[in-house]
Amino acid sequence: MPPNGTFGCMKRALLHLALWIAYAAVEFVANAPHYSDKEELLRQTLFFLPVIAGPFYFVAYVLVPRLLWRERKTAFWAACAAVFLGVMLLRMKWADWYWYLVEGEMFHMPLSKISKNLFRDYAVIGFAVSLKVIRDWYKKDRLAAALQVEKRDAELQFLRAQIHPHFLFNTLNNLYGLALQQSPNTPDSILRLSGLLDFILYECNAEQIPLEKEIKLIRDYIELERLRFGARLHLEFDHENPPVSIQIAPLLLLPFVENAFKHGAGATNEPVSIRISLHLRERRLFFQVENSKPGKQTTVRENGSKGIGLRNVEKRLELLYPGRYNLEKIDGDDLFLAALSIEL
């Protein structure tokens, strides 16, 4: 079996041959009523075919890729005008050569006949070149779209790769704090962290997961943080159980909760409050996280040089849900609010 490239070339050659045969057949049938000698008509039809095919291939396969697609439009149109002028001269000479080969003497066709044929030739060449241009444009658009998808996927992979170490770093810091306090909750925290990491490593490789799994991940993370902050943490998580069919990109909501703990409860030894709500209206998700803020921040803010949580999420939202989400952030003196809505 021939290689794919050779097979593709053979397929295109056969397609072109079939198209020119079809054109010659239409030309023959259209002129048949005007000719009593059908053999003569067939000879003329086939003899004059190169007058159309030659200029078409020159314009479509030489001028279009070398001039039009390289943004040299003035040169392209000037070259096309020269080609059409050449077609006119060739048409007149071609008729002379035909009669010389058939009759053995030169026979000059009437100018009216040549003019009629020229308009037809130009129309056929222009139509054929237009089809080639449209096909090339379609291929360029498909290639550009494919490259855009590849670029988006690569950026998403990079952003998702940032999430895991970012999450692990913050959680290990929490465990480190418990260990320093010799807290009896340290073993339970390690066990819960193991469950979270298992979910992140094995369940979050899909493009989307059921929304209920993301909710469960948030609940598990909250329970892990409760072990760390104890009674000084006042937390409300108001949510509904979504249908199994509702899907969402994995780890899209958790960073908002992480941020609330990091810059709320984690930034002070005072009592803090965090309120989380998640609701669905048809296929639109409304997610809101609000946390109280201490009077003086002691941790690096998300807009600082080391913060990647919320910035990472915003980039992922733009890539995954362009034009389908709205994110508002309110950074007040004593609270921080993030309100997200997504059309799923």
Give pLDDT tens digits along the chain (344 positions): 445 567 767 888 888 888 888 888 887 887 787 777 777 777 777 777 888 888 888 888 888 888 888 888 888 889 888 888 887 777 777 766 666 666 666 556 655 666 666 777 777 787 778 878 888 888 878 877 776 666 666 665 655 655 556 566 666 766 666 676 666 766 776 776 776 777 776 666 778 889 998 898 898 888 878 877 778 889 999 998 888 789 998 888 988 998 888 776 655 667 889 999 999 988 899 999 999 887 654 443 444 434 457 888 888 888 889 889 999 999 888 889 999 999 98
What was the pLDDT predicted at 211? 92
Q: Looking up tokens 């992480």, which residue turns up?
A: 258
What CATH number is associated with residue 280? Answer: 3.30.565.10
Domain count, the chain: 2
What was the pLDDT predicted at 164? 58
Residues 124 and 192 in one domain: no
Sign of torsion over alpha carbons 106, 109, 114, 120: negative
In the chain, the amino acid numbered 195 is: G
Residues 68 and 206 in one domain: no
Domain boundary (121, 144, 167) is at 144
- 50 lies in a domain? yes
What was the pLDDT predicted at 227? 75
Residues 14 and 127 in one domain: yes
- 162 lies in a domain? no
**Spatial distance between the Cα atoms of 154 and 299, rounded to a whole number of angstroms:** 31
Domain boundary (115, 144, 173) is at 144
Residues 195 and 320 in one domain: yes
- 152 lies in a domain? no
Distance of CA 154 to the CA centre of its chain: 12
- 78 lies in a domain? yes
Do the bridges between strand 284-292 and strand 209-210 make them parallel or antiparallel, or are there none, so unpaired?
A: unpaired
Residues 61 and 14 in one domain: yes
- 331 lies in a domain? yes
- 157 lies in a domain? no
- 155 lies in a domain? no
Residues 136 and 51 in one domain: yes
Burial of 259-277, coded b for 16+ CB within 10 Å and e otherwise, reads bbbbbbbbbbeeebbbbbe
Residues 289 and 211 in one domain: yes
* Contact between residue 72 and residue 80 where contact means Cβ atoms under 8 Å apart: no
Residues 116 and 188 in one domain: no
Domain that holds residue 242: 183-343
Q: pTM higher than 0.85 for the full model? A: no
Q: At what angle do helices 111-180 and 186-203 cross, to 10 degrees?
A: 170
Residues 236 and 94 in one domain: no
What was the pLDDT predicted at 1? 43
Residues 64 and 206 in one domain: no
For the chain, report the end-to-end CA distance as a whole number of angstroms.
47
Nearest 10 degrees: CA dihedral of 221, 218, 309, 296?
-60
Residues 140 and 190 in one domain: no
What was the pLDDT predicted at 102? 66
Dump the DSSP string for 7-43.
HHHHHHHHHHHHHHHHHHHHHHHHHGGG-S-HHHHHH
- 149 lies in a domain? no
Coil, strand or helix at 247:
strand
Residues 135 and 244 in one domain: no
